Amino acid sequence: MSPQMDGISLAKKQVLILCTGNSCRSQMAEAFWRRHGGDRWNVVSAGTRPSGAVHPLAVRAMAEAGIDIHGCRSKSLEPYLDRHFDLVITVCSDADANCPHFPNARKRLHHGFDDPPKAPGDEEAQMQVARRVRDEIEAQVKAWIATESPPHT
């Protein structure tokens, strides 16, 4: 049995995914990391200024990909500041610029994605952006996992 800390296995690599509101892009990235990361990762997401809710565009886009995130919640990064992370990843420029220093993080990465709720146009135009961003996030998460995953033992 692997050691545990706050319900997180210490034998697994730890990743924190940050966005400003933790309502769309970081929620998508967390869900895809869970799907593709297997049992070698623990993943959490948070926001530098959490919105308090997951955006309906993200919920709908992820449902179309077969992932249910409607029960997820927007979280603050505060509880994670003193935790050890193998990776801290920012998925928006604002979070990248305003991300506090994580002294216990082994590595920090950034890849900015467009913010679907801020896309111009009506709800359907924003949904098209949400689908594109969802697919971009999934591809990037797969690339990160392939590069950063520990070998199978």
Token pair 């520990």: residue: 150
Find out whether 99 and 48 touch, Cβ atoms under 8 Å.
yes
| Token couple for 12 | 């697994």
19 is catalytic: yes
Active site residue 72: no
| DSSP β-ladder status, 4-5 and 8-9 | antiparallel
From 15, 16, 19, 88, active-site residue: 19
Residue type for position 62: M
Look up 99 and say whether it is catalytic: yes
Residue 17's region, left for phi above 0, alpha for psi from -120 to 50, else beta, is beta
The active-site residue out of 29, 46, 77, 99 is: 99
Active site residues: 19, 92, 99
